[in-house]
Structure 1
Amino acid sequence: MSTAGSEPHAPPVAAAAPGRYELVLPPGWIRIPLREGTKEALERVLFSHMGRVPEGIPRDDAMRFRLDMRRQLEKQARAARRNGGLDLYLPVLPRGGIFLMASFIVAEMPIGRDHAVPPQAVIEQLAAEEVPGGTAGKVDVAGAPALRRAYRCAPDEEGEQAAPPTRRVDYVIPVPDDPARWISINFSTPGDGDAGSEFTDVLVELFDAVVATFRWSYE
């Protein structure tokens, strides 16, 4: 297991708010920082972590596979950064000869700017909102209330007719002692192509287990 985390990059406040977060990653998962060091992290992914390619890809096509993967990861990283992303996490080692199709993003959120509204009230409001094809509810993250939202996205909702349905899980977490700072942890996976399969359920459970290790750091 490895510990990863990043700083939410917010202005200092009077209260002793945490400066960064930490979480424990499963074996084979890595962190790609999105604010700085992204290029170097991608290089490590492609030429260190991905020393092996999936079964069925000829040795002569290994470099092409890595270049295609790099383009996909760069596209994903740019999109996450535009949406306030701090870090992108994904599996890079194959399991049983295949690469898991899953990822999650830790990002800053533009909510909670009204300091008069307590974070718990914001969470309760979000939990009460209807989630088409899913559920939302209050949970505990790092010893404090947070929101967990789970749902499915059909291909036509994502504008990708050829893509399989995806399972999504979002956590919305207030930063302690700073009502203006919130982060989200957004997970997405097509699983094995069946959003309701046991295999896809296992990936969602793995993500929930990762979030259960989430902690704030004051160092």
Structure 2
Amino acid sequence: MSTAGPDQSTPPVGAAVPGRYELVLPPGWVRIPLREGTKEALEQVLFSHMGRVPEGIPRDDAMRFRLDMRRQLEKQARAARRNGGLDLYLPVLPRGGIFLMASFIVAEMPIGRDHTVPPEAVIAQLADDDVPGGTAGTVDVAGAPALRRAYRCALDEEKRQGALPTRRIDYVIPVPDDPGRWISINFSTPGDGDVDSEFTDVLVELFDAVVGTFRWSDE
């Protein structure tokens, strides 16, 4: 089980605002905190969880592989933190001899703090926003309404040559008893290179199952 929490803002008087969340990770996935302890978490991932390198990489190149992975993870963590990220989740152990290309980020959501608008109205408005080639609708997360948005992202080849299209799933969740405060859980994967393949569908189902374990915690 992974536990983490958004930065604390001043709650309404008398309200018991959950300070942390919990979710159950699949085997081989780890949490990288983005607000503090990021460096230590990356060290643990690289030298504890990633003791094995993928098949086909010579033993002499193992350190170079880890250094390359560290640069990629640090770059990903910096980008996530700039976008309000709280925690980055990654698969770090190979499955069937390969490393999964997938990740998800839990982040503060800059929706605004208009306390007069009920969460259901905000979710309905977000669900009505255009999602090119995708879908959006209301779902239940931790016993309350939330938004689930699914879409495909075709990257601009002129700007990011060699990058693969990705399948993306976003959840937008209100923080209970703290009107106007929201978090998002954002999943992204190129799958096996085909965003519509059965393999990619399995990764999406795995992420949805993880979000199904999401709970708020007062501890």
TM-score of the two chains, using structure 1 as the length reference: 0.97
Are the counterparts in 2 of residues 92 and 99 from structure 1 also a CA contact under 8 Å?
yes
SS in 2 for 1:150: strand
SS in 1 for 2:80: helix
Structure 1 distance, partners of 2:72, 2:184, is 22
Structure 2 distance, partners of 1:34, 1:94, is 24
TM-score of the two chains, using structure 2 as the length reference: 0.97
Task: Tell me which residue corresponds to 2:205.
Answer: 205
Paired residue type of 1:41: A
Task: Tell me which residue corresponds to 2:40.
Answer: 40
Measured against aligned partners, the alpha-carbon deviations of 1:28-60 in whole angstroms (never above 9, x if no partner) come to: 000000011000000000000000000111111
Query: Does residue 151 of the first structure (1) align with residue 151 of the second (2)?
Result: yes
Paired residue type of 1:199: F
Structure 2 distance, partners of 1:175, 1:165, is 31
SS in 2 for 1:88: strand
In structure 2, do the counterparts of structure 1 residues 148 and 195 end up closer, same or farther at CA, with 3 Å as the change threshold?
Answer: same
SS in 2 for 1:155: coil
1:115-130 aligned at under 5 Å gives the runs 115-130=115-130
Deviation at 1:199, TM superposition (A): 0.2
1:67-78 aligned at under 5 Å gives the runs 67-78=67-78
Structure 1 residues not aligned, in runs of 5+: none
Structure 2 distance, partners of 1:47, 1:4, is 20
Measured against aligned partners, the alpha-carbon deviations of 1:52-98 in whole angstroms (never above 9, x if no partner) come to: 00011111111000000000000000010111100000000001111
Structure 1 distance, partners of 2:200, 2:92, is 18
Task: Tell me which residue corresponds to 1:193.
Answer: 193
SS in 2 for 1:77: helix
Task: Tell me which residue corresponds to 1:111.
Answer: 111
Paired residue type of 1:10: Q
Structure 2 residues not aligned, in runs of 5+: none
1:57-68 aligned at under 5 Å gives the runs 57-68=57-68
Task: Tell me which residue corresponds to 1:7.
Answer: 5
Task: Tell me which residue corresponds to 2:138.
Answer: 138
Structure 2 distance, partners of 1:170, 1:11, is 23
Deviation at 1:162, TM superposition (A): 1.1
Are the counterparts in 2 of residues 10 and 181 from structure 1 also a CA contact under 8 Å?
no
Structure 1 residue runs of 4 or more that deviate by more than 2 Å after TM superposition: none
Are the counterparts in 1 of residues 157 and 163 from structure 2 also a CA contact under 8 Å?
no
Task: Tell me which residue corresponds to 2:102.
Answer: 102
1:72-87 aligned at under 5 Å gives the runs 72-87=72-87
Paired residue type of 1:58: P
SS in 1 for 2:24: strand
Are the counterparts in 1 of residues 141 and 211 from structure 2 also a CA contact under 8 Å?
yes
SS in 2 for 1:95: coil
Structure 2 distance, partners of 1:109, 1:134, is 20
Deviation at 1:186, TM superposition (A): 0.2
Structure 2 distance, partners of 1:115, 1:155, is 36
RMSD: 1.1
